[in-house]
């Protein structure tokens, strides 16, 4: 059974216009890198199988370039030591990166040839459609608590009604998960704003470029760039300020991108993500 408190699927952060997908790389091939590698490869296989079965997903494996935040030397050494297949992750120069992007990139970085962008709502819809025959999908149902009873987890409503029961319960509700279970690390909400630009000029990357920010190629006529990181305690950023921050990140990645755009060509989307170790995450993304 699928229980969702919202009236429809992908109505939170998953509902943003589009996002990037690529694995994580670290010098010691840490647990996060290994987990993301498995998830990345499994995801690609799953999405292709959904399409083969007739489901429609909006995505493109255009490639992702990730620029290092602190120089290229450590990244060159890391990728040489890890010796990944070139089709998975490799270092490319700024000249090669600019050639792939179709405009000047500020440096060389890690090239994920199988990475790209995806519209998450289309994937969610495909997953739900593929599992429709086996899954009861209950929207507008808020789980107040979980109770272990007779070998099953019971999902209870605020009035004590059993909404669903099963031997296994999977929590996929972001920071709200800690209201239903004791977790090993506290989760925090980080608010973020993503800028959307109408693609009114010929200046647009052909690949995803990321680093201190990110920018996607045009997706249904819109460029996506982001994103801000705002803690729960900090005052919410005004949309104009958030957009200015995103534009500054974009121009650091792509120096030839126009720094001034008409207000009519830009909007800002707002969402939140659940993270652990908030202080470190923010420091890493400055």
Interatomic CA distance for residues 107 and 66, integer angstroms = 10
Of the two residues 273 and 113, the one the predictor is more confident about is 113
Interatomic CA distance for residues 138 and 86, integer angstroms = 44
pLDDT tens string 124-163: 999 999 987 777 899 999 999 999 999 999 999 999 999 9
Give the model's pLDDT for residue 63: 98
Interatomic CA distance for residues 106 and 37, integer angstroms = 26
pLDDT tens string 200-248: 666 789 999 999 899 999 999 888 998 888 776 666 667 778 888 888 8
Asked whether the bond before 279 is cis by omega within 30 degrees of 0, the reply is no
Long-range contacts of 259-262 (CB under 8 A, 24+ apart): 261/197, 262/200
The yes-or-no verdict on residue 286 having pLDDT over 50 is no
pLDDT bucket at 266, cuts 50 / 70 / 90: low
Cβ proximity of 19 and 59 under 8 Å: no
**In this predicted structure, which of 99-103, 138-142, 193-197 has the lowest mean pLDDT?**
193-197
Q: Is 195 exposed, middle or buried, given 0-12, 13-18 or 19+ CB atoms closer than 10 A?
A: buried
Average pLDDT of the segment spanning 181-188 = 83
pLDDT tens string 38-90: 999 999 999 999 999 999 999 999 999 999 987 788 899 999 999 999 899 99
Give the model's pLDDT for residue 278: 46
Cβ proximity of 119 and 221 under 8 Å: no
pLDDT bucket at 13, cuts 50 / 70 / 90: confident
Give the model's pLDDT for residue 281: 47
Residue 223's SS3 state is strand
Cβ proximity of 193 and 228 under 8 Å: yes
Interatomic CA distance for residues 194 and 245, integer angstroms = 10
Q: Is 39 exposed, middle or buried, given 0-12, 13-18 or 19+ CB atoms closer than 10 A?
A: middle
Nearest to 145 by CA among 158, 132, 134: 158
Token representation of residue 189: 């909400």
Token representation of residue 268: 């800002």
Tell me the percentage of the chain whose pLDDT exceeds 90: 59
Token representation of residue 50: 């959904």
Give the model's pLDDT for residue 44: 97
Residue 201's SS3 state is coil
Calculated CA dihedral for residues 174, 212, 100, 92, nearest 10 degrees? -110
Of the two residues 279 and 130, the one the predictor is more confident about is 130
Average pLDDT value over all residues in the chain: 88
């Amino acid at each position: 059974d699928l229980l969702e408190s919202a009236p429809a699927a992908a109505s939170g952060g998953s509902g943003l216009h589009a996002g990037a997908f690529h694995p994580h790389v670290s010098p010691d091939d840490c647990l996060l890198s290994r987990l993301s590698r498995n998830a990345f490869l499994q995801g690609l296989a799953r999405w292709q199988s959904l399409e083969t079965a007739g489901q429609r997903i909006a995505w493109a494996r255009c490639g992702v370039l990730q620029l290092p935040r602190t120089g290229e030397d450590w990244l060159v050494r890391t990728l040489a030591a890890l010796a990944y297949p070139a089709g998975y992750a490799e270092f490319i120069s700024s000249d090669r990166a600019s050639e792939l992007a179709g405009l000047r990139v500020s440096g060389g970085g890690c090239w994920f040839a199988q990475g790209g962008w995806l519209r998450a709502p289309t994937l969610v819809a495909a997953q739900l459609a593929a599992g429709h025959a086996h899954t009861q999908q209950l929207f507008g149902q808020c789980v107040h608590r979980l109770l272990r009873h007779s070998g099953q987890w019971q999902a209870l409503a605020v009035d004590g009604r059993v909404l669903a029961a099963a031997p296994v319960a999977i929590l996929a509700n972001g920071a709200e998960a800690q209201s239903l279970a004791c977790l090993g690390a506290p989760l925090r909400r980080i608010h973020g704003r993503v800028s959307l630009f109408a693609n009114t000029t010929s200046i647009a990357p052909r690949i995803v470029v990321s680093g201190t920010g990110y920018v996607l190629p045009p997706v249904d006529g819109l460029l996506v760039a982001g994103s801000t990181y705002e803690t729960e305690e900090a005052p919410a950023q005004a949309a104009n300020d958030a957009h200015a921050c995103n534009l500054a990140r974009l121009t650091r990645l792509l120096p030839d991108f126009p720094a001034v755009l008409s207000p009519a060509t830009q909007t800002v989307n707002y969402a939140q993500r659940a993270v652990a170790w908030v202080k470190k995450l923010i420091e890493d993304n400055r």
